[in-house]
Amino acid sequence: MTKATTEDLLRELRETIARQERELRLHQSELEQTNAGLLALHAEVELQRQRSAFLDEVSRSVSASLRGREVVEALVGLIERENLADCAGVWLVTDESRKLKRLPRPDSAPDADVKRVATGHQAHIEPKRLLLPLTVGPHLLGVLELHRDSEFTGDEVSFLTAVAARSAVGLRNAGEYERERELAERLQHAMLPTLSTPDELELCARYRPAATGVNIGGDWFDAFTRADGTIVLTVGDVTGHGLDAAVVMGKLQNALRAYTAEGHGPAEALRLAHHLLRGLDSTLFATAVVADLELETGRIRWASAGHLPILACGEDGVRHLERPNAPMLGVPFAFDIAEYEETITPGSDLLLYTDGLVERRAEVLDDGLARLTGAFAEVTRLPTDEAGDRILAEMLGQDEHDDDVCLLLCRWSAQPERPSGRGARHIPAPG
């Protein structure tokens, strides 16, 4: 092989190596771009996954409560936890006048930008501040306000707009629930009587609706002076909740007042109420206790249909006026109603109540009654209104109760002369 041929071969070899190096660099560049694209795509997919998961969490959190304040607290907590904003708040539309109230910091006043968003339903975007309308359809529920030290990007604005949309649904549900709750409470309180008794008898009546649900319930109390001077006390509870329970409650409350006002004793009044309830087109039942008190003699008569015992507190301490009960009103069979009587002394307290005061899911009934007995004994020297409030506070605490609560506290402060005695009689079985 000649020298020229060797040089030609070496030149071709160098050119081939150079070409292959260029192609390799090209492939490496393409591979790096592909890897960068895949990493970017993966990052974008992961970001969208995280955002989708966050939106789902927002939906769950704002739907977990039906109270507007708690919905706002959950939303603000999530936004600040994810560092989507350094400071977040919601301007809620609070009433028919369309006033705006900020949560948190309810003492703040909305500026012109907030009012403009609330009026025009359009977002207000600044580099470090966002005002996003919280709307469901054409209805504005509030304005989401966000502040941050760094600027919001366009992509973040779009995402936070989606967060606002999810949150608005929770606020709408809470608003509708709170309106229904307010209506239910107004209806319930409108159906409760105004109490009127002699000066020597002090009364404290308290009603608390269930903390969950629409809160139209079937608990009631009543107290009035009959034409012959006898004091009539009644407390009852219709099973279930809702409008049907409230309607039955109203009928029974009015019926028992009418029966006792006519002069019927407690057992006879309950017998007539049982007939009435059986004749209604209703599947509901009711418990009730009726008592009448003669101030001249100190005689108290009572009868109970499936209800918890009256508590009496006198010189000998707290005791239960507990005797065998009749079944609940409205059950589809006949039964006897026993009527009992005792003599109480001036200065005695009587407490009538519904089961929501003592029943708890995680507690046996006897424990609840024991707690009530202790709470009642502690307040006998307090004014009746304060005593009733203290009993509620002791029995309910800070926990939300899932049943209506009703109590009627009666204190006899006169000093008449009275004979003593006690007895029991039976009323014939209802037909």
Phi, psi torsion values for 374, nearest 5 degrees? -65, -45
Which residues, in sequence order, are CB contacts of 289 under 8 Å at separation 6+?
A: 234, 235, 236, 302, 303, 304, 305, 307, 308, 310, 352
pLDDT score for 429: 45
Question: Which amino acid, residue 422?
Answer: R
Q: Report residue 125 as tokens.
A: 């975007």
Q: Which fold has domain 49-185?
A: Beta-Lactamase (3.30.450)
Q: Measured in Å, how far apart are the chain's first and last C-alpha atoms? A: 133
| Residue 266: closest CA among 354, 331, 326, 205 | 326
HEC profile for 63-88? HCCCCHHHHHHHHHHHHHHCCCCCEE
Q: How many CA atoms lie within 13 A of 137 on its CB side?
A: 2
Residue among 187, 257, 233, 228 nearest 404 (CA): 187
Q: Domain residue spans in the chain?
A: 49-185, 195-426
Q: What pLDDT, on a 0 to 100 scale, did the predictor assign at position 415?
A: 52
Helices (H), 103-194: 112-120, 154-191
Return the structure tokens found at 260.
Answer: 């006792």
Task: Look up residue 29 and give its two tokens.
Answer: 């560049």
Specify the pLDDT at position 419. Answer: 43
Tokens of 130: 């966002």
One-letter amino acid at 224 equals F
Identity at 345, one-letter amino acid code: T
Count Cβ atoms below 10 Å from residue 233 Cβ, excluding itself. Answer: 26
The crossing angle, in degrees rounded to 10, of helices 154-191 and 68-81 is 160
Q: How far is CA 333 from CA 240, 274, 283, 324, 336, in A?
A: 21, 10, 14, 18, 10
Q: Find residue 93's DSSP bridge partners.
A: 100
**Under a CB-based contact definition with an 8 Å cutoff, are residues 135 and 27 in contact?**
no
Reduced to 3 states (helix: H, G, I; strand: E, B; else coil), residue 308 is coil
Class of domain 195-426: alpha beta
Residue 211 contacts residue 187 (beta carbons within 8 Å):
no
- Low-confidence spans in the chain with pLDDT less than 50: 416-431
Collect all residues with Cβ–Cβ distance below 8 Å to 129 and sequence separation of at least 6.
145, 146, 147, 148
Q: For residue 259, what is the enclosing H or E element?
A: helix 243-261
User: Long-range contacts of range 184-188, CB-CB < 8 Å, 24 or more positions apart?
Assistant: 184/209, 184/214, 184/215, 184/216, 185/209, 185/215, 187/216, 187/246, 188/215, 188/216, 188/217, 188/246
CA distance 294 to 174: 49
What digits encode the pLDDT tens for the residues 310-329? 999 988 889 999 899 999 99
Closest CA to 143 of 111, 180, 176: 111
